[in-house]
């Protein structure tokens, strides 16, 4: 059940990442560049421990996933700066369901895997359903069709990224390959975001303010941790959609954090408990 452990840590780090720019309100384009650059610096010392597979698909997948994540990060940081960071969470059920369905479609043996154990299958479907409904009721004001149409493509592309990641990273050399895969992602993201910063005229003195550098360091650190735990969880999971579903814990962590900090939060505790219940149901249903 390593996938569940790493998936839960992924949700924690993803929640912290989402919260940082709510505090600093940094320019999302500049912060995206800084966070990717910091992630590269964090990962460079681990190069001697990385594995570089001979399969060219590994590198093509890393570039494709990096482009997908670049768009998603920009949207999330932009929403965070507007104190709407949790709006991006409404795409999580879509991300999880798409990843789960795509994985079954491209790996025919998975259909038998579910048909042969209907008790497990009913538990998994129930967990996905409960999480989706509970997330909607956690903060109904977060949901609107305009917001959904903004973040829905992110959910779909993140699902594709999860499936592709599981396909190209070998479980036998998981940690070394995950490190190299994530490093390549952030190198590509740094280049892409650097180009956009220049094209949008964002390469100005504001990039070097202390608050911007601090926000970049924090988002870079927690983005790296979130992404590494995501990759490890996805590779270990029977279905990459499971890891994506655990991300429904992100708004729950934020709700509890705000409660401890006495920050006003209109989230409904009962819905939060149902989300936790859905995660427990998923883990117990797939326990083996």
Let me know: does 87 contact 147? Beta carbons within 8 Å.
yes
| pLDDT at residue 90, rounded to an integer | 72
Best CA proximity match to 186, nearest among 32, 58, 11: 32
CA–CA separation, 268 and 276 (whole Å): 13
The interaxial angle of helices 56-81 and 2-24, nearest 10 deg, is: 40
Distance CA 169, CA 178 (A): 7
Nearest residue to 131 via CA among 274, 287, 1: 274
Report the C-alpha gap between 232 and 6 in whole angstroms. 7
The C-alpha atoms of residue 261 and residue 259 are separated, in whole angstroms, by: 5
Rg (CA), the chain: 18
Per-residue pLDDT of the chain (288 residues), as tens digits, is 899 999 999 999 999 988 887 788 888 889 889 999 999 999 999 999 999 988 999 999 999 999 888 877 777 666 554 545 455 567 788 889 999 999 999 998 999 999 999 999 999 999 999 999 998 888 765 556 666 666 777 788 889 899 999 999 989 889 999 999 999 999 999 999 999 899 888 888 889 899 999 999 999 999 999 999 999 999 999 999 999 999 999 989 999 998 888 887 778 899 999 999 999 999 999 997
Sign of CA dihedral 102, 105, 108, 113: positive
Distances (CA, A) of 121 to 44, 110, 113, 282, 286: 42, 11, 9, 10, 9
Query: What pLDDT sits at residue 262?
Result: 81
pLDDT for residue 78: 63
CA distance linking residue 92 with residue 151, whole number of Å: 9
| pLDDT score at 85 | 46
- CA 231, distance to chain mean position in Å, is 10
**Whole-model pTM?**
0.90
What does the DSSP assignment read for 208-262?
Answer: GSHHHHHHHHHHHHHHHHHHHHHHHHHHHSSSHHHHHHHGGGHHHHHHHHHHHTT
Q: Are 258 and 74 in contact (CB under 8 A)?
A: no
Cβ atoms 29, 74 nearer than 8 A? yes
């Amino acid at each position: 059940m390593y996938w569940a452990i790493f998936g839960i840590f992924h949700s924690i780090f993803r929640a912290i990442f989402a919260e940082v720019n709510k505090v600093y309100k940094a320019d999302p384009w500049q912060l995206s560049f800084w966070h990717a650059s910091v992630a590269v610096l964090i990962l460079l010392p681990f190069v001697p421990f990385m594995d570089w597979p001979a399969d060219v698909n590994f590198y093509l997948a890393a570039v494709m996933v990096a482009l997908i994540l670049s768009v998603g990060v920009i949207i999330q940081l932009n929403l965070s700066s507007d104190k709407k960071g949790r709006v991006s969470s409404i795409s999580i059920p879509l991300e999880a369901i798409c990843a789960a369905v795509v994985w079954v479609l491209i790996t025919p043996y998975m259909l038998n895997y579910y048909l042969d154990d209907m008790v497990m299958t009913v538990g998994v479907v129930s967990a996905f359903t409960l999480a989706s409904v509970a997330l909607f009721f956690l903060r109904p004001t977060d949901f609107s069709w305009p917001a959904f149409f903004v973040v829905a493509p992110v959910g779909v592309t993140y699902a594709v990224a999860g499936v592709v990641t599981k396909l190209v990273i070998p479980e036998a050399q998981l940690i070394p390959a995950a490190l190299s895969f994530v490093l390549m992602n952030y190198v590509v993201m740094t280049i892409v975001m650097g180009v956009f910063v220049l094209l949008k005229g964002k390469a100005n003195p504001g990039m070097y303010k202390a608050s911007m550098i601090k926000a970049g360091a924090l988002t870079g650190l927690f983005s790296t941790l979130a992404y590494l735990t995501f990759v490890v969880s996805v590779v270990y999971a029977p279905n990459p959609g499971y890891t994506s579903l655990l991300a429904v814990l992100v708004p729950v962590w934020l709700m509890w954090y705000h409660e401890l900090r006495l920050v006003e939060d209109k989230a409904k505790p009962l819905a939060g408990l149902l989300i936790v219940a859905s995660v427990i149901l998923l883990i117990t249903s797939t326990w083996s």
